[in-house]
A and B are shown apart, each in its own frame.
Chain A
């Protein structure tokens, strides 16, 4: 996976989890991650990041999980 795509995915995740991003209208959340969804390599990373973030108190978890995936 190229570094550009990895950085792109991370920035998408960071954007998606920026404070106040989520509201009761879920549309933008999907828009933010949509480019990653179309990429078969990025989908598992995206899912892992989102799943890890559910129980996390810290939004950075998403980035950490995603980084670990890319470095592997």
Chain B
């Protein structure tokens, strides 16, 4: 499965042989069902999800037995405790959503958060960011609302565990970056709401027996903010300012800069990268920009 995953892009580019890719997805049905369900099956689930992510084609959508197998593997993957499996499964559902309307899955994730177990919440919060909403735009709004509920402001008691919150911030970023033929799928208003949510995430200082776990959230938010600012590169200054007003950009620079004097290097280092990216990605002429640029590039 690992070799087929790596071969898929080569086969597609050299031979354009989608049938061969579909046959490798079909072959998942030949694996005994118990292999994926038994204890210690995480590497198998991860490999199968990676294979689906790399080899899923239109033919796979039309093949009902193959689809049933893929969905069963995904169901098991959502329940896994391994983050690697969650990431692979999220990529797989993202690939499937390019060929098939995944409204049913989105609705199921959004509705299931209240009663789901932590591994499912963690994996679903990642998956919501990988699903392509071009085929189910009507669910974009409810999805964003659902993700916002998972990441309440730091003043309120969080309803989700820290991994789920980190993943939700990643998904908020990914949704904002999605584009279809007509441009970004997220409106300017929603883009700003998402940007504000990421800004709020910079104040997550949750600790637990593992230490400053809020740092995972803050690091994710810094990365997300810099990616969102970088996504404005393709717009001219006026359009950029309409999508991201200057005051929000300034708050992002302030928030990221604050993280550069945090206790842990694991937070300071990403803050430098994020700051450099934010400064390079726009021409907003705010006060102090030359000084910040000199500091960040040192």
Residues of A within 8 A of B (CB): 16, 22, 24, 26, 29-30, 32-33, 37, 40, 43-44, 46-47, 50-52, 54-56
Contact = CB atoms under 8 A, between A and B. Distances in A.
Interface residues of B, number: 21
B4 A50 contact: yes
Given A22-B2, A40-B14, A33 B24 contact: no
Interface string B1-25: 1111111001100110000100110
Given A26-B6, A37-B10, A47 B24 contact: yes
Nearest to B46: A24
Interface stretch (B27-35, B178-186, B222-230, B244-252): B27-35
B2 A47 contact: no
A51 B23 contact: yes
Given A26-B2, A43-B15, A47-B24, A55 B30 contact: yes
Contacts, number: 55
B33 to A, nearest CB: 11
Contact of B27 (A24, A29, A54): A54
B290 interface: no
A51 B24 contact: yes
B65 interface: no
B43 interface: yes
A35 to B, nearest CB: 12
Nearest to A25: B2
Contacts of B2: 22, 26, 29
Contacts of B1: 54
Contacts of B32: 55
Interface of B: 1-7, 10-11, 14-15, 20, 23-24, 27-32, 43
B4 A47 contact: yes
Contacts of A50: 3-4, 7, 24
Contact of A54 (B7, B11, B28, B43): B28
5 contacts: A30-B3, A50-B4, A50-B7, A55-B30, A55-B31
A46 B20 CA distance: 11
